[in-house]
A = this chain, B = another copy of it.
Amino acid sequence: MHQNEHSFDPHPTASAITDSRGSYDERLNHILTAATAAMARLGYAKASMREVAKAAGVSLAGLYHYFDSKERMLFLIQFRAFGSLLNNLREKLCGVDDPQDQLRVMVREHLAYFAANMGALKVCSHELDSLTGSAYDETRDIRYEYYGVTRRIIDRLLDARGGMAHTDRHVATMALFGTLNWLYRWYDPRRGPSVSTVANQIADQFLQGLLGVPASENESTQETVP
Protein backbone atom coordinates (compact mmCIF):
# COMPACT_ATOMS: atom_id res chain seq x y z
CA MET A 1 0.00 0.00 0.00
CA HIS A 2 1.15 3.51 -0.69
CA GLN A 3 -0.15 5.51 2.29
CA ASN A 4 1.87 8.66 1.89
CA GLU A 5 5.17 8.88 3.72
CA HIS A 6 5.47 12.53 4.65
CA SER A 7 8.80 13.74 3.36
CA PHE A 8 8.67 17.45 2.73
CA ASP A 9 10.08 17.77 -0.75
CA PRO A 10 13.65 16.46 -0.59
CA HIS A 11 14.10 17.22 -4.24
CA PRO A 12 11.18 18.14 -6.47
CA THR A 13 12.68 16.41 -9.51
CA ALA A 14 12.63 12.67 -10.17
CA SER A 15 9.99 11.92 -7.59
CA ALA A 16 8.01 9.22 -9.39
CA ILE A 17 8.38 6.64 -12.09
CA THR A 18 5.27 7.08 -14.17
CA ASP A 19 4.26 10.33 -15.79
CA SER A 20 2.37 11.44 -18.95
CA ARG A 21 -0.65 12.84 -17.04
CA GLY A 22 -0.12 13.05 -13.33
CA SER A 23 1.88 10.72 -11.17
CA TYR A 24 0.75 9.64 -7.74
CA ASP A 25 2.75 12.36 -6.01
CA GLU A 26 1.62 15.02 -8.43
CA ARG A 27 -2.02 14.16 -7.87
CA LEU A 28 -1.52 14.04 -4.13
CA ASN A 29 0.05 17.48 -4.18
CA HIS A 30 -2.74 18.74 -6.39
CA ILE A 31 -5.38 17.54 -3.93
CA LEU A 32 -3.36 18.90 -1.02
CA THR A 33 -3.22 22.29 -2.68
CA ALA A 34 -6.97 22.36 -3.12
CA ALA A 35 -7.47 21.20 0.45
CA THR A 36 -5.15 23.90 1.75
CA ALA A 37 -7.10 26.58 -0.07
CA ALA A 38 -10.43 25.26 1.18
CA MET A 39 -9.25 24.97 4.77
CA ALA A 40 -7.69 28.42 4.68
CA ARG A 41 -10.96 29.85 3.42
CA LEU A 42 -13.46 27.96 5.56
CA GLY A 43 -11.42 26.61 8.44
CA TYR A 44 -10.67 22.95 9.04
CA ALA A 45 -13.98 22.01 10.64
CA LYS A 46 -16.17 23.63 8.00
CA ALA A 47 -14.13 22.57 4.99
CA SER A 48 -15.92 19.34 4.12
CA MET A 49 -14.40 16.48 2.23
CA ARG A 50 -17.04 17.05 -0.42
CA GLU A 51 -15.82 20.63 -0.87
CA VAL A 52 -12.22 19.49 -1.15
CA ALA A 53 -13.15 16.78 -3.61
CA LYS A 54 -15.04 19.24 -5.78
CA ALA A 55 -12.20 21.76 -5.70
CA ALA A 56 -9.63 19.09 -6.55
CA GLY A 57 -11.74 17.62 -9.33
CA VAL A 58 -12.00 14.13 -7.87
CA SER A 59 -14.84 12.19 -6.36
CA LEU A 60 -15.51 12.08 -2.65
CA ALA A 61 -14.50 8.44 -2.43
CA GLY A 62 -11.46 9.10 -4.57
CA LEU A 63 -9.97 11.27 -1.84
CA TYR A 64 -9.58 8.25 0.38
CA HIS A 65 -7.09 6.69 -1.97
CA TYR A 66 -4.66 9.40 -0.93
CA PHE A 67 -5.62 10.13 2.67
CA ASP A 68 -7.10 7.66 5.08
CA SER A 69 -8.83 10.45 6.97
CA LYS A 70 -9.55 14.15 6.92
CA GLU A 71 -7.27 14.65 9.89
CA ARG A 72 -4.36 13.08 8.04
CA MET A 73 -4.95 15.58 5.25
CA LEU A 74 -4.56 18.43 7.72
CA PHE A 75 -1.54 16.74 9.21
CA LEU A 76 0.20 16.52 5.86
CA ILE A 77 -0.50 20.18 5.15
CA GLN A 78 0.89 21.30 8.49
CA PHE A 79 3.79 18.86 8.54
CA ARG A 80 5.02 19.87 5.12
CA ALA A 81 4.60 23.58 5.74
CA PHE A 82 6.29 23.60 9.13
CA GLY A 83 8.96 21.24 7.87
CA SER A 84 9.96 23.27 4.86
CA LEU A 85 9.73 26.46 6.92
CA LEU A 86 12.18 25.02 9.43
CA ASN A 87 14.47 23.45 6.85
CA ASN A 88 14.61 26.63 4.84
CA LEU A 89 15.40 28.67 7.94
CA ARG A 90 18.27 26.40 8.98
CA GLU A 91 19.62 26.50 5.47
CA LYS A 92 19.50 30.28 5.22
CA LEU A 93 21.07 30.62 8.64
CA CYS A 94 24.22 28.80 7.55
CA GLY A 95 27.22 31.11 7.52
CA VAL A 96 25.41 33.91 9.32
CA ASP A 97 27.15 34.54 12.62
CA ASP A 98 25.96 37.91 13.90
CA PRO A 99 22.81 37.38 15.99
CA GLN A 100 21.26 40.56 14.63
CA ASP A 101 21.73 39.30 11.11
CA GLN A 102 20.35 35.94 12.16
CA LEU A 103 17.18 37.50 13.46
CA ARG A 104 16.78 39.53 10.30
CA VAL A 105 17.17 36.37 8.26
CA MET A 106 14.56 34.62 10.40
CA VAL A 107 11.98 37.38 9.99
CA ARG A 108 12.70 37.83 6.31
CA GLU A 109 12.46 34.15 5.51
CA HIS A 110 9.30 33.74 7.52
CA LEU A 111 7.63 36.54 5.62
CA ALA A 112 8.93 35.26 2.30
CA TYR A 113 7.44 31.84 3.01
CA PHE A 114 4.24 33.48 4.16
CA ALA A 115 3.94 35.44 0.95
CA ALA A 116 4.58 32.34 -1.15
CA ASN A 117 2.28 30.04 0.84
CA MET A 118 -0.37 32.17 2.47
CA GLY A 119 -2.98 29.45 2.65
CA ALA A 120 -0.67 26.88 4.18
CA LEU A 121 0.63 29.26 6.83
CA LYS A 122 -2.87 30.40 7.66
CA VAL A 123 -3.88 26.80 8.22
CA CYS A 124 -0.74 26.30 10.30
CA SER A 125 -1.41 29.34 12.47
CA HIS A 126 -5.14 28.90 12.83
CA GLU A 127 -5.54 25.14 13.18
CA LEU A 128 -2.86 24.41 15.73
CA ASP A 129 -5.24 22.49 17.98
CA SER A 130 -7.23 20.67 15.31
CA LEU A 131 -4.91 17.67 15.28
CA THR A 132 -5.01 14.98 17.95
CA GLY A 133 -2.80 12.23 19.26
CA SER A 134 0.48 11.48 17.57
CA ALA A 135 -0.31 13.74 14.64
CA TYR A 136 -0.55 16.65 17.04
CA ASP A 137 2.62 15.59 18.81
CA GLU A 138 4.59 15.43 15.60
CA THR A 139 3.65 18.93 14.44
CA ARG A 140 4.16 20.27 17.96
CA ASP A 141 7.69 18.90 17.93
CA ILE A 142 8.51 20.72 14.70
CA ARG A 143 6.97 23.90 16.00
CA TYR A 144 9.08 23.59 19.11
CA GLU A 145 12.20 23.20 17.01
CA TYR A 146 11.27 26.34 15.11
CA TYR A 147 10.76 28.08 18.42
CA GLY A 148 14.12 26.80 19.66
CA VAL A 149 16.04 28.18 16.70
CA THR A 150 14.45 31.58 17.19
CA ARG A 151 14.82 31.48 20.95
CA ARG A 152 18.53 30.73 20.69
CA ILE A 153 19.00 33.74 18.43
CA ILE A 154 17.30 35.92 21.01
CA ASP A 155 19.41 34.42 23.75
CA ARG A 156 22.55 35.26 21.84
CA LEU A 157 21.25 38.76 21.20
CA LEU A 158 20.72 39.40 24.87
CA ASP A 159 23.88 37.65 25.99
CA ALA A 160 26.11 39.58 23.62
CA ARG A 161 24.81 43.07 24.30
CA GLY A 162 23.26 43.83 27.61
CA GLY A 163 19.86 44.82 26.35
CA MET A 164 17.21 45.79 28.83
CA ALA A 165 17.69 44.63 32.36
CA HIS A 166 14.74 42.39 33.12
CA THR A 167 13.74 40.82 29.86
CA ASP A 168 11.82 37.56 30.00
CA ARG A 169 13.17 35.80 26.95
CA HIS A 170 10.19 33.55 26.50
CA VAL A 171 7.90 36.55 26.51
CA ALA A 172 10.13 38.30 24.02
CA THR A 173 10.15 35.27 21.71
CA MET A 174 6.40 34.82 21.86
CA ALA A 175 5.87 38.53 21.25
CA LEU A 176 7.74 38.11 17.98
CA PHE A 177 5.86 34.94 17.06
CA GLY A 178 2.62 36.73 17.82
CA THR A 179 3.47 39.44 15.33
CA LEU A 180 4.47 36.87 12.71
CA ASN A 181 1.62 34.42 13.23
CA TRP A 182 -0.98 37.18 13.16
CA LEU A 183 0.11 38.32 9.72
CA TYR A 184 -2.45 36.14 7.97
CA ARG A 185 -5.23 38.22 9.52
CA TRP A 186 -4.33 41.47 7.84
CA TYR A 187 -1.35 41.33 5.51
CA ASP A 188 -1.81 40.71 1.84
CA PRO A 189 1.54 40.96 0.03
CA ARG A 190 -0.28 41.74 -3.21
CA ARG A 191 -1.92 44.84 -1.81
CA GLY A 192 0.09 46.27 1.10
CA PRO A 193 3.74 47.27 1.33
CA SER A 194 6.31 44.86 -0.06
CA VAL A 195 7.41 41.76 1.79
CA SER A 196 10.91 43.11 2.38
CA THR A 197 9.54 46.42 3.67
CA VAL A 198 7.34 44.72 6.24
CA ALA A 199 10.07 42.26 7.16
CA ASN A 200 12.58 45.03 7.72
CA GLN A 201 10.21 47.06 9.82
CA ILE A 202 9.25 44.11 12.01
CA ALA A 203 12.89 43.12 12.45
CA ASP A 204 13.97 46.71 13.11
CA GLN A 205 11.26 47.30 15.67
CA PHE A 206 11.95 44.03 17.41
CA LEU A 207 15.70 44.48 17.56
CA GLN A 208 15.45 48.06 18.71
CA GLY A 209 12.83 47.09 21.26
CA LEU A 210 14.98 44.32 22.59
CA LEU A 211 18.40 45.97 22.54
CA GLY A 212 17.64 49.65 22.49
CA VAL A 213 19.91 50.36 19.58
CA PRO A 214 18.92 51.92 16.29
CA ALA A 215 18.58 49.59 13.33
CA SER A 216 21.78 48.95 11.40
CA GLU A 217 21.34 50.76 8.13
CA ASN A 218 23.32 48.38 5.96
CA GLU A 219 20.80 45.59 6.38
CA SER A 220 17.61 47.57 6.16
CA THR A 221 17.64 48.03 2.43
CA GLN A 222 18.82 44.58 1.49
CA GLU A 223 16.67 42.60 -0.88
CA THR A 224 14.83 39.48 0.21
CA VAL A 225 16.49 36.84 -1.90
CA PRO A 226 19.32 36.84 -4.49
Contact = CB atoms under 8 A, between A and B. Distances in A.
A173 to B, nearest CB: 9
A201 B129 contact: no
Provide the main secondary structure of the chain A interface.
Answer: helix
Nearest to A200: B166
Interface in A140-183: 164, 166-168, 170-172, 174-175, 177-183
B193 A168 contact: yes
A175 B128 contact: no
A128 B168 contact: no
Given A43-B129, A45-B45, A185-B128, A202 B214 contact: no
Interface of A: 43, 45-46, 126, 128-130, 164, 166-168, 170-172, 174-175, 177-183, 185-187, 192-193, 197-198, 201-202, 204-210, 212, 214-215
Q: Sorted from nearest, which 3 A-B pairs have the closest CB atoms?
A: A209-B209, A178-B182, A45-B45
